[in-house]
Amino acid sequence: MNTEPAPANPFSTPASARLEGRRSRALRLALLSVALVALGSLLWSARRRPAAPDPVVREFSVFDSYARITLWSSPERAEPALRECTAVLAELHRTLNRFDPSSELARLNAAAAGQAFACSPQLWDVLQAARQAYAQTAGAFDITVGPLMAVWGFHRKRDTLPTEAEIQAALACVGLARVAFDDTAHTVRFTVAGMSLDCGGLAKGYALDRVLAILARAHLEPALVDLGGNVGCSTQPPPGRPHFVIGVRNPFATETLLGRLPIVGRTVSTSGNYERRIIIQGKEIGHIIEPRTGHPVSGPAGVTAVTPRGVDSDVFSTAVYVAGKELAEALAEHVPGTGFVLVSGSPDAPELTRVGDLHRLEDTTAPPARRP
């Protein structure tokens, strides 16, 4: 659990790519992710099945998070694709790290109020995903939350809670409808000064899709990818198994699991305030903001989204955390293969609400992995 005031965003520390050795080990431990559990289950089952080949596992740091790619292939076959994956991820980080003034997103934020900013194909593609997310979630997911993140102390530490006047002033600079996109020239212009874009709610999911696509193109399936808790797996299950097993973290006690999802060809993302929050004047402020009111969201405790596309699971978990079960139901109805686990209640009595296509959610009291 991180209660540090800043940096608050997955793209907040420029030096992240150099994390190595003991520091990266500490990071790994701190960022215990759902995929660790998934892999643990797989290895547990692999021990009982001596015929299955050892997977190739690549661990690294990206977006200030722990990442892991697991492939059931020879290291020689896996290496070129793994190199391509890490290069693409580094490039995405360089583009979207809004706290690095030289990143393309930071340059857009600095310039787009004055004149239209011409986007690279990569940034334009991410922004199209953000526009779709805004439309699909009726504005619950909105990358223009930048001014609200700032006013609530996520960019620079503050000692007092913002006044309602400050929140209203920030809100006047929020709303994707206030951004002018030129679909021919691929430019972006802010119609209001003081706007800023924050891709922290979808970047890892977007990156996950890029990685899964590289691995599929290289015929490196089965594959299991964890980018800082955004987990995706191939349609082809691991050798000798009917599916992958992804753990759903307990938002009240993040080292424990509430359930396990047996999946293939899906991505999983979890949003919740336990991940990142700050305390101002004794009040806990979560990092997910309701963009229509300008206030941080206080519940449910956590939302896990399961969808075919990584960008969707990242967007949907954040958006359903903001807008609740009704949005989960609408998304599950309109986006095939989508399901949610909403966790509410209390630490002593967590309540799980399942929505949509979840295949099934295994009880965590069951053994870690079952034989098919």
Contact residues for ligand AMP, defined by CB under 6 A? 9, 141-143, 145, 149, 198, 200-201, 271, 275, 287-289, 291, 314, 317-318, 322
CA dist 334 and 338 (Å) reads 9
Q: Is 146 an interacting residue with respect to Mg ion (CB under 5 A)?
A: no
Please report, for residues 78, 222, 226, 277, the alpha-carbon distance to residue 39 in angstroms, rounded to integers and kept in the order given: 18, 13, 10, 28
Q: How far is the CB of 318 from ligand AMP (least distance, A)?
A: 4
What kind and span of H or E run contains 151?
helix 146-151
User: 54: how many CB neighbours lie within 10 A of its CB?
Assistant: 9
**Binding residue for Mg ion, selected from 69, 318, 341, 358, defined by CB under 5 A:** 318
Nearer to ligand AMP, 43 or 172 (CB): 172
Q: Is 49 exposed, middle or buried (0-12, 13-18, 19+ CB in 10 A)?
A: exposed
CA dist 275 and 25 (Å) reads 19
Which residue lies nearest Mg ion, judged by its C-beta?
A: 318
Q: How far is the CB of 94 from ligand AMP (least distance, A)?
A: 18
Calculate the CA dihedral of residues 370, 245, 328, 351 and round it to 10 degrees.
60
Q: Looking at the DSSP assignment, which residues form a beta bridge with residue 189?
A: 180
Q: Which amino acid is at 127?
A: L
Q: Binding string, 182-221, against Mg ion, x = CB under 5 A? A: -------------------x--------------------
CA dist 108 and 334 (Å) reads 33
Residue 288 site contact among Mg ion, ligand AMP, none (CB < 5 to 8 Å, cut-off depends on kind)? ligand AMP
User: Which segment (69-77, 176-184, 207-215, 314-322) binds Mg ion by CB under 5 A?
Assistant: 314-322
Q: How far is the CB of 363 from Mg ion (least distance, A)?
A: 26
Peptide bond into 7 cis (omega under 30): yes
**Binding residue for Mg ion, selected from 209, 275, 314, 362, defined by CB under 5 A:** 314
Nearer to Mg ion, 186 or 204 (CB): 204
Q: How far is the CB of 249 from Mg ion (least distance, A)?
A: 14
Whether 124 and 186 have beta carbons less than 8 Å apart is answered as yes
Q: How far is the CB of 290 from ligand AMP (least distance, A)?
A: 6
Q: How far is the CB of 61 from ligand AMP (least distance, A)?
A: 17
Nearer to Mg ion, 142 or 314 (CB): 314
Contacting residues toward Mg ion, per CB under 5 A:
201, 314, 318
